[in-house]
Amino acid sequence: MASQARRSRTRQNGAVPNSFPLASGAQRGYHPEQVDDFLALARTAYEGAGAASAPMTAEDVRRAAFGVKRGGYATRYVDAALDRLEEVFFERERRARLRAEGEDAWWEETRQLLSEVRGRIQRQKGKRFRRRGIFATGYRRSQVDAFLDRISEMFERRELGLKPAEVRDVVFHSEWRGYDEDQVDALLDSVVELILATR
């Protein structure tokens, strides 16, 4: 069975009809049919033709995952396209929220998200996230902490100089008893939202 892959932040060996370049040689790429089906669904949702079904959101795009196989779509091209698509959906959602709730409510929610992110980042290094069990691997704590220190410095300067793709595509090695991947990924998703919300 093909494994699922999409913006995994653990370093591993890789990829996706010919909408994208194919992975070369022994590299693995995203399964083409899965990518094409998802993009067709996203197009339908964006154009409003799928009103009877649940709407697609920027978060849905961010969390999209595809099987991998040799000769699939090269992952970096698919990820770049999905990054752009996520931003399109986010901007549409932002405009809708502003119309429905007003600018004050939008910024209050953004400030609350910023407070939650800063609270996590300000924790002691090595203890910012839950650690995996003794027989399990997680993200290398030193690498995660170093990246979060970089984000913290930007908060102190009252600016987020990172691009969303830099956060989405950051890679961490794995280690025994490393940080819980789901918790780290959730925080990085929140950082992406902050960047998009404050541009």
pLDDT of 93-147, one tens digit each? Answer: 889 889 998 989 888 988 999 999 999 999 999 999 999 988 899 999 999 999 9
Supply the pTM of this predicted model.
0.72
- The pLDDT of residue 186 is 92
Checking if the pLDDT of 184 tops 90, the result is: yes
Quick one: pLDDT band at residue 181, thresholds 50, 70, 90? very high
Quick one: pLDDT band at residue 18, thresholds 50, 70, 90? low
Checking if the pLDDT of 90 tops 50, the result is: yes
- The pLDDT of residue 49 is 53
- The pLDDT of residue 180 is 95
CB of 155 closer than 8 Å to CB of 121:
yes
DSSP notation for 22-59: BPPTT-EEE-HHHHHHHHHHHHHHHHTTTTTSPPP-HH
- The pLDDT of residue 19 is 80
- CA 159, CA 166: separation in Å to the nearest integer? 15
pLDDT in tens, 34-84: 999 999 999 888 887 545 456 788 988 988 889 999 989 999 899 989 989
- The pLDDT of residue 157 is 78
Write the single-letter amino acid at 80.
A
- CA 135, CA 35: separation in Å to the nearest integer? 34
Quick one: pLDDT band at residue 17, thresholds 50, 70, 90? very low
